[in-house]
Amino acid sequence: MRIDILTLFPNMFTGVFNESILKKAQEKQAVSINVINFRDFADNKHKTVDDYPYGGGAGMVLKPQPIFDAVAQVTKHSERPRIILLCPQGERYTQKKAEELAKEEHLVLICGHYEGYDERIREHLVTDEISIGDYVLTGGELGAMVIVDSVVRLLPGVLGNEASPLHDSYSSGLLEHPHYTRPADFRGMKVPEVLLSGNHRLIEEWRAKQSLRRTFLRRPDLLENCELTEKQKQWLEEFKKEQR
């Protein structure tokens, strides 16, 4: 996969992309990440990338020319790139979206600043608008880091255990079950006996039930769009009775 990030602050990405899983993914050549300062594409003497909004109002607006030209440069050899605008007005980012983007060959992330983008960027250039949450940041850089991290970890060969992403919270529509490690007894706090039993069927059933319980207690909204088995429906009724 190739990921190009268009930003006015490329140094913000240095530490994030040169540590941990993202660094290893690049070393394994599972992904190529390029950070481009789109100010370099401004066609004016002072390299200005923003201007006052037509009609008046507070703040400055990013001009279309530098961004259009930067995207044209990074996509000239790409057949079907996904061009993503980081924006508070965009689609709320989810694990499902991360899984969708992980199947692409080329992503272009555009990080905005100031009051916003010239509307022609939205209408005629991008394929997706994404928001990482219902709040406003000073720019799109942090959102881009979140998207890159969540997508790259899903690429084949990036994580040590290929099954790891399959059990992540949200991948199944539910939150992940609790985890424990040694010691079995830490200051009187004990690991559930079923996890020490060696009975894999019972362990998987316990994990599935705990996953559903945790979702019911912490994120019941997720259950509205989740298809449950008959067994899970029975467990859900148990949880509801426990709360009465």
pLDDT tens per residue, range 81-133:
999 999 999 999 999 999 999 999 999 999 998 889 999 999 999 999 999 99
CB atoms within 10 A of CB 198: 8
Using a pLDDT cut of 70, give the percent of the chain over it: 95
Give me the pLDDT at residue 162, please.
Answer: 65
**Confidence bin at 204 (pLDDT 50/70/90):** very high
Tell whether the model's pLDDT for residue 163 goes beyond 70: no
Give me the pLDDT at residue 165, please.
Answer: 59
Dihedral Cα 181, 182, 187, 193, nearest 10 deg:
70
In the residue annotation, 115 being an active-site residue is answered as yes
Which residues are annotated as part of the binding site for S-adenosyl-L-methionine? 112, 132-137
Give me the pLDDT at residue 49, please.
Answer: 97
Rounded average pLDDT over 153-180: 80
pLDDT tens per residue, range 91-103:
999 999 999 999 9
**Confidence bin at 36 (pLDDT 50/70/90):** very high
- All structural domains of the chain, each given as residue ranges with its CATH number in brackets, are 2-152 (3.40.1280.10), 169-243 (1.10.1270.20)
Cβ atoms of 8 and 38 closer than 8 Å: yes
What is the model's pTM? 0.88
Instruction: Point out the catalytic residue in the list 64, 88, 207, 214.
Output: 88
Give me the pLDDT at residue 169, please.
Answer: 62
Using a pLDDT cut of 90, give the percent of the chain over it: 90
In the residue annotation, 153 being an active-site residue is answered as yes
In the residue annotation, 88 being an active-site residue is answered as yes
**Confidence bin at 57 (pLDDT 50/70/90):** confident
215: Cα within 13 Å, side-chain hemisphere: 26
**Confidence bin at 224 (pLDDT 50/70/90):** very high
Give me the pLDDT at residue 205, please.
Answer: 97
Rounded average pLDDT over 50-55: 94
Instruction: Point out the catalytic residue in the list 149, 168, 176, 205.
Output: 168
Q: What is the mean pLDDT of the chain?
A: 94
In the residue annotation, 168 being an active-site residue is answered as yes
pLDDT tens per residue, range 172-199:
789 999 999 999 999 999 999 999 999 9
**Confidence bin at 58 (pLDDT 50/70/90):** confident
Tell whether the model's pLDDT for residue 51 goes beyond 90: yes
Residue 27 burial (C-beta neighbours within 10 Å; 0-12, 13-18, 19+): exposed
Which residues are annotated as part of the binding site? 112, 132-137
Rounded average pLDDT over 152-165: 82
**Confidence bin at 214 (pLDDT 50/70/90):** very high
